[in-house]
Amino acid sequence: MREKLTYGLALGAAAMFTYTLYRILLMLPDELMQGAIYRIMFFHIPAGIIGMIGFFVSMTMSVWYLSSKDLKFDSLAASVVEVAVLFACINIVTGSIWARIIWGVWWTWDYRLTSQLVCVLIFFGYLALRRAIDEPTQRARLSAALNIFGCVDVVIVWKSIEWFRNNHPGPVLSIRTGGGQMDPRMDHTVYLNLIPLLLTGIALVLVRTRQEATAREIDSLRRLAHAAA
């Protein structure tokens, strides 16, 4: 059942990608100010959105785990964090490439990119913590607690870096570099491309959760073997 769902999602994502890529590469014209490179935003923006959503979904999973003590939610939380970090990294890398082309530098300390980077670091800490704990229940409890701290911090990080940038102005990465309105077709395409990316993300989460469940099974078999020995 789950495998069918995973394959279904992957196929759906692939199908939508064909359409959106067609739109992005062939249908839409080059942007006035930025040339061809602006198309990277069709991945940059949705990836950023998915990353952020992912972090908060994982916090919900962690809270659910703490109240229900069902390890299934812990696996979900961890898998969602992994996928969210992946998308956040895609957001950062595409942003960096974009900055290089538009501004000539690899990193502009744009407040959104910087905040995203800090969030990635916070959740790297989460993943590092998980790797450092062998016992599954302890790992679940402690990483759930860290997840909550992390997500609360994410909100404060975004706000504080934004305020910092207000004091120390610098280049801002935006598709609206020319100012003014964005062509509605471009707007739509950004959100359109969100869908296949999201589907891919969910498929990845399902795969990872399955792996986590298997790992837990192996761990408990090992304990059983030791107890019988």
Partner 1 sequence: MGTDAIAVRQLWKYYGDYPALREITLDIAQGSCCALLGRNGAGKTTLLRILAGLSPYQQGEVNLFGQSPRGRGARRTAGFLGHGIGVYEDLTATENLAFFARVHGLSDVSATVARWLKRVGLERVAKMPVRQFSRGMRQRLALARAFQHAPQVLLLDEPFTSLDDKAIAMLSELLTEARLRGATIVLSTHQLREALAIASDVALIENGKLRYSGERTPEMLSDPTLLYRLHTELGAD
Partner 2 sequence: MAAKDLAIEVRTKESINAAGAFSIAILLIFSFAFDPFSDSMHEFAGGLLWIAFAFAGALVFNRGFARELPNECLDALLSSPLSASSLVLGKALANFVMLIAVELISLFVFGIFYNINWVKHPWALAATLALATWGIAVLGSVFGAMTVNLRLRELMLPVIIYPLLIPLLIGAIEFTTILLGVDPIASSDWLWPKLLLLYDVVFTAVSILLADTILVN
Q: Are 85 and 124 in contact (CB under 8 A)?
A: yes
**Contacting partner 1 within 65-94 (CB under 8 A):** 69, 71
Nearer to partner 2 among residue 144 and residue 205 (C-beta): 144
145 binds partner 1 (CB under 8 A): no
Q: Which does 146 bind (CB under 5 to 8 A by kind): partner 1, partner 2, none?
A: partner 2
Of the candidates 77, 162, 83, 63, the one whose C-alpha atom is nearest the C-alpha of residue 118 is 162
Question: Do 173 and 110 form a contact (C-beta atoms < 8 A)?
Answer: yes
Q: Does the protein bind partner 2 through residue 22 (CB under 8 A)?
A: no
Q: Which of 37, 148, 172, 192 binds partner 2 (CB under 8 A)?
A: 148
SS3 35: strand
Short-list 122, 129, 155, 157, CA closest to 143: 129
- Using the contact rule CB under 8 A, the part of the chain among 14-22, 78-86, 161-169, 184-192 near partner 2 is 161-169
Cβ-contact 144, 63 below 8 angstroms: yes
Q: Identify whether the C-beta of residue 208 lies closer than 8 Å to the C-beta of residue 83.
A: yes
CB of 161 to partner 2, least distance (A): 7
Nearest to 153 by CA among 145, 74, 44, 75: 145
Q: Which stretch binds partner 1 (CB under 8 A): 37-45, 53-61, 104-112, 219-227?
A: 219-227
**Residues in 39-58 that interact with partner 2 by CB under 8 A:** none
SS3 state at 88: helix
Strand positions, DSSP E, the chain: none
Residue numbers of the site for partner 2 (CB under 8 A)? Answer: 66, 118, 121-122, 124-126, 128-129, 132-133, 138, 141-142, 144-146, 148-150, 152-153, 156-157, 159-161, 163-164, 167
Residue numbers of the site for partner 1 (CB under 8 A)? Answer: 69, 71, 135-137, 141, 216-217, 219-220, 223-224, 226-228
